[in-house]
Amino acid sequence: FDPALGMMTGIPPITPMMPGLGIVPPPIPPDMPVVKEIIHCKSCTLFPPNPNLPPPATRERPPGCKTVFVGGLPENGTEQIIVEVFEQCGEIIAIRKSKKNFCHIRFAEEYMVDKALYLSGYRIRLGSSTDKKDTGRLHVDFAQARDDLYEWECKQRMLAREERHRRRMEEERLRPPSPPPVVHYSDHECSIVAEKLKDDSKFSEAVQTLLTWIERGEVNRRSANNFYSMIQSANSHVRRLVNEKAAHEKDMEEAKEKFKQALSGILIQFEQIVAVYHSASKQKAWDHFTKAQRKNISVWCKQAEEIRNIHNDELMGIRREEEMEMSDDEIEETTETKETEESALVSQAEALKEENDSLRWQLDAYRNEVELLKQEQGKAHREDDPNKEQQVKLLQQALQGMQQHLLKVQEEYKRKEAELEKIKDDKLQVEKMLENLKEKENCTSRLCASSQESDYPLEKTMNGSPIKSEREALLVGKETNTLIRCSTALAKKTQLRICTSDVECLMSRLQHTFKQEMTGVGASLEKRWKFCGFEGLKLT
């Protein structure tokens, strides 16, 4: 304790304005060790409790507590000594002392109670006497007083009133202002409203006033002419509103046209991106990518195709709406849609050409694999000759797979044909456009036929000469398996339409490989095709 400073050393003050600054420190956090020292007063001395003992127990703090219970006072302790000890904690309102060595002290503020509880556990000694009547151990605890509870409830009610007032003011501030009251009818106000009705910017306000007057019943024989002139002024705005609506519709049409053009540009760029993915998927470049890179390219291609299809459907929906809104006088504008259809067919033909090129590259790669297999099989053939029957079975299985694939392609063709019929039913309104579409479909079928005929010379060269050895039979089997895989990839990528007539035409040209036989008589006459590619091998 430093008397020069008037406070205990090592204990920081709370606030310089608080009374009792030299005696009791502020509440100390629980994690900070509490060091209590001896407190010297004029007529008594306070000795701190043992720091190893647990802190004294206290009851639950009542709301708004300003009163404390002080027990353990010495028998010779007077009210003056109690005031001397506890007035350092704050302003004391009242002291109620009992004859049984305890008292109740009521402070002016709630925080003073916490400072008084700091003295709980101190041993008090009056002067220098060690007599039992002059010593005691203080016990300070919260006390429940009706005055404290009443003041706390009053404070809470005051805070609730302030909160309600604040909320009411906030609601008043946020509430939209009420419309101004409509003035009563008079000749002067009528002339003012008539002038406002002629002004476009003030028309809404004036017409509301006119409506209110009419509903109030202000129209009579004397004011009928004035009201008629105001109604006539209101009618003069009809033409202006119609013109404004037409201008806004024109702006909307221009905005639609800009949106359609922008969407077309976006769709073209999506087509280019998809074309990049397809070109990267060709065999010439595909083999150089790693497995992870191929997977990423496939995922990107699928996502880009989905987004492109969504945009394409949206663009076609816009064009379909424009066609439905088109009148008889606007039929001449269909040439633009024809050009777009032609460009779409041309792009489809180019895509088919690109797919055909990619299949050719794939076929070349398969040929290289077949050559490698020939060399390996030639070495194995010198060691193992009794594998002829297994090779023949493999060739038969390859032919069966080709037949199954042809059936699948035929089913796919039927499904595509049904979809085409639906599209034709939707476009029956424009006959000229249908004729152009049919011409373009014929062109695409010719292109497909030409792409198919480009592969015929390969098959003719393969089947033109007779098979002279088992090694050549193995080569035919490998080539047949290769053609099956090529035809499957071609059907998946290009989605060619194959019918039974095309298959019969192809088999009739391959006379050394397939032969037609007629079975049955009359109504049971059937036409069957027989594979005769190995008859030359049997004869040899």
pLDDT at 452 over 60: no
- Exposure of 443 in the CB half-sphere (CA atoms within 13 A): 14
- Exposure of 514 in the CB half-sphere (CA atoms within 13 A): 16
Q: What is the pLDDT of residue 22?
A: 46
Q: Contact 67/143 with Cβ under 8 angstroms?
A: yes
Residue 96 neighbours by CB under 8 Å, 6+ apart: 103, 104
* Least confident segment among 54-63, 116-125, 425-434: 425-434
Query: What is the H or E stretch that residue 126 is in?
Result: strand 123-126
* Least confident segment among 146-150, 413-417, 418-422, 487-491: 487-491
pLDDT in tens, 72-126: 999 888 899 999 999 999 999 999 998 888 999 999 999 999 999 999 999 999 8
pLDDT in tens, 333-382: 555 556 666 677 777 777 777 777 777 777 766 776 677 777 777 665 55
Q: What is the pLDDT of residue 182?
A: 85
Q: What is the pLDDT of residue 401?
A: 78
Q: How far apart, in Å, do the first and last CA atoms of the chain sit?
A: 129
- Nearest CA to 22 out of 67, 81, 87 is that of 87
Percent of the chain with pLDDT over 90: 23
pLDDT in tens, 14-46: 444 444 444 445 555 555 556 788 888 888 999
Two tokens, residue 414:
């039927």
**Mean pLDDT over each residue of the chain, to the nearest integer:** 78
Percent of the chain with pLDDT over 70: 73
Q: What is the pTM of this model?
A: 0.33
pLDDT in tens, 390-415: 777 888 887 787 878 888 878 888 88
pLDDT in tens, 493-535: 545 556 677 777 777 777 777 777 777 766 677 777 777 766 7
Q: What is the pLDDT of residue 477?
A: 59
Two tokens, residue 18:
């608080």
The highest-confidence range among 62-66, 173-177, 271-275, 449-453, by mean pLDDT, is 62-66
Two tokens, residue 177:
């202002």
Query: Average pLDDT, stretch 169-190?
Result: 87
Q: pLDDT class for 456, splitting at 50, 70, 90?
A: very low
Question: What b/e sequence results for 240-265 when a residue is b if at least 16 CB atoms lie within 10 Å of its CB, and e otherwise?
Answer: eeeeeeeeeeeeeeeeeeeeeeeeee
* Least confident segment among 177-191, 227-241, 461-475: 461-475
pLDDT at 254 over 70: yes
pLDDT at 192 over 80: yes
Query: Average pLDDT, stretch 137-161?
Result: 94
Burial of 217 (0-12, 13-18, 19+ CB in 10 A): exposed
Q: What is the pLDDT of residue 462?
A: 42
